[in-house]
């Protein structure tokens, strides 16, 4: 008949059990049911700075470890994992912060379990803990780096780079059907020539900040910032339209109201949207790459934006054909335009504003009014009544 395991056996340092526990790299200590320390291995001595003689017969709460959790709760006095394990028989894993002998707290990954004798009776508790300071420092650094790098690359690029880092190798170029949105600040050159660099950057960050929030809200991804322009990519054309309308009719209006209250000029933008196939891949050199989308669809979206009126949205027929009825109803046929790289003119549809107050544009920009010019050039978007347009005779339609 085997001998019953006793408290005395757990506290001895001359048996096989103590030799095994002392050989472990992790810290190990055993307490009785009153949480008094019976055994303290060499790993615990190295990790905490306390020797076995200093802690024997004492409790953790006696200013030895005084564990706290990540919320700062003092566990030794109110929610001791060891006490819970002894009382319930449960095994518990947790990240806790014990007190080192030198007065500093450090993170540990802790596993707590009850110790039973041969009859199954709980007679003690054991805690095995590992110092994870280096892992935590690395995690914090990684989180800070990730948060920082996300400010400079698109979400799609960040996710793809992280995937490549895990599995190795570059993403293979692929063909994607997407909707590309361009936003450009009207009259930026004239504005920047009469403002300090700090004022220019502040205005850009203000505009880009609201654009980013709305674009992400509507499931878009900012591909890049180009001077005073934003390029974003959407899977669903309806998301792109809803984001553009939200930016133009609500967020930008609110921002300009605030700017006027501060005595600043309002900001005006153009938005161009096109849909179709793009090539998505890593473009650049071996040392510096940009995960982006390229192709005629992107170029056409940029051209549509540059040719539209201030404070409105112009979309291609390719985008218009992808819209739900309620979104399509927001647009009216404008005219066909020739876009570089396209052999045939493409139909353009323009956003029909609601009851929006007329606004004063930036210096160097004459607000588009019927028969007037934009930036000294004849507007390329004379309005054509939708009722006068029919298939095949758009060129004969009367320009109003």
Distances in whole angstroms, Cα of residue 128 to Cα of each of 10, 131, 264: 15, 10, 63
CA angle (206 as vertex; 205, 212 as ends), nearest 5: 80
At 215, give phi and psi (nearest 5°). Answer: -60, -45
pLDDT of residue 392: 36
Q: Which fold has domain 7-133?
A: Beta-Lactamase (3.30.450)
Q: What does the alpha-carbon distance between residue 19 and residue 23 come to, in Å, rounded to a whole number? A: 6
Q: What does the alpha-carbon distance between residue 283 and residue 315 come to, in Å, rounded to a whole number? A: 27
How many Å from the N-terminal Cα to the C-terminal Cα in the chain?
Answer: 107
Residue 185's DSSP bridge partners are: 269
Burial class (CB in 10 A: 0-12, 13-18, 19+), 248: buried
Distances in whole angstroms, Cα of residue 4 to Cα of each of 7, 90, 167, 255: 10, 22, 52, 77
Question: Is the confidence at residue 110, as pLDDT, over 80?
Answer: yes
Average pLDDT over all residues of the chain: 78
Q: Are the C-beta atoms of 324 and 238 separated by less than 8 Å?
A: yes
Hey, where are the domains in the chain? 7-133, 170-396
Quick: pLDDT tens for 49-84: 999 999 988 887 777 888 888 777 778 777 788 888
pLDDT of residue 13: 75
Q: Bigger pLDDT: 232 or 383?
A: 232
> Which of 291, 307, 322 lies closest to 174 in space, CA to CA?
291
Question: Is the confidence at residue 194, as pLDDT, over 90?
Answer: no
Q: Are the C-beta atoms of 291 and 152 separated by less than 8 Å?
A: no
At 162, give phi and psi (nearest 5°). Answer: -65, -40
Q: Are the C-beta atoms of 318 and 275 separated by less than 8 Å?
A: yes
Tokens coding 92: 């518990």
pLDDT of residue 171: 59
The Cβ of residue 392 has, within 10 Å, a number of other Cβ atoms equal to 6
The Cβ of residue 341 has, within 10 Å, a number of other Cβ atoms equal to 10
CATH for the stretch 170-396: 3.30.70.1230
């Amino acid at each position: 008949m085997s001998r019953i395991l006793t408290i005395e056996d757990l506290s001895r340092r001359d048996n096989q059990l103590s030799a095994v526990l002392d050989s472990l790299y992790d810290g190990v200590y055993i307490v009785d049911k009153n949480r008094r320390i019976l055994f303290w291995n060499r790993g615990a001595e190295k990790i905490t700075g306390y020797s076995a003689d200093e802690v024997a017969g004492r409790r953790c709460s006696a200013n030895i470890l005084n564990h706290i959790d990540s919320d700062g709760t003092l566990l030794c006095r109110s929610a001791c994992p060891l006490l819970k394990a002894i009382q319930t028989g449960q095994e518990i894993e947790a990240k806790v912060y014990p007190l080192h002998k030198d007065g500093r707290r450090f993170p540990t990954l802790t596993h707590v379990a009850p110790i039973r004798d041969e009859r199954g009776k709980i007679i003690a508790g054991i805690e095995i803990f590992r110092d994870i300071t280096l892992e935590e420092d690395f995690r914090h650094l990684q989180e800070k780096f990730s948060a920082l790098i996300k400010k400079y690359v698109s979400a799609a690029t960040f996710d793809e780079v992280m995937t490549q880092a895990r599995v190795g190798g570059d993403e293979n170029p692929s063909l994607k059907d997407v909707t590309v949105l361009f936003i450009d600040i009207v009259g930026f050159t004239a504005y920047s020539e009469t403002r300090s660099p700090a004022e220019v950057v502040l205005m850009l960050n203000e505009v880009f900040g609201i654009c980013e929030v709305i674009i992400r809200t509507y499931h878009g991804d900012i591909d890049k910032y180009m001077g005073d322009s934003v390029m974003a990519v959407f899977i669903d054309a309806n998301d792109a339209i809803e984001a553009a309308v939200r930016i133009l009719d609500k967020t930008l209006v609110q921002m300009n109201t605030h700017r006027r209250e501060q005595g600043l000029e309002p900001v005006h933008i153009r938005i161009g949207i096109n849909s179709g196939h793009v090539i998505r891949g890593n473009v650049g050199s071996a040392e510096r790459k940009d995960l982006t989308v390229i192709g005629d669809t992107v170029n056409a979206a940029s051209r549509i934006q540059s040719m539209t009126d201030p404070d409105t949205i112009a979309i291609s027929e390719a985008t218009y054909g992808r819209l739900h009825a309620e979104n399509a109803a927001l647009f009216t046929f404008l005219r066909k335009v020739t876009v570089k790289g396209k052999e045939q003119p493409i139909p353009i549809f323009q956003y029909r504003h609601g009851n929006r107050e007329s606004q004063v544009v930036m210096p160097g920009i004459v607000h588009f009014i019927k028969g007037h010019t934009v930036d000294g050039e004849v507007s390329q978007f004379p309005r054509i009544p939708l009722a006068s347009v029919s298939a095949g005779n758009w060129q004969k339609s009367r320009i109003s």
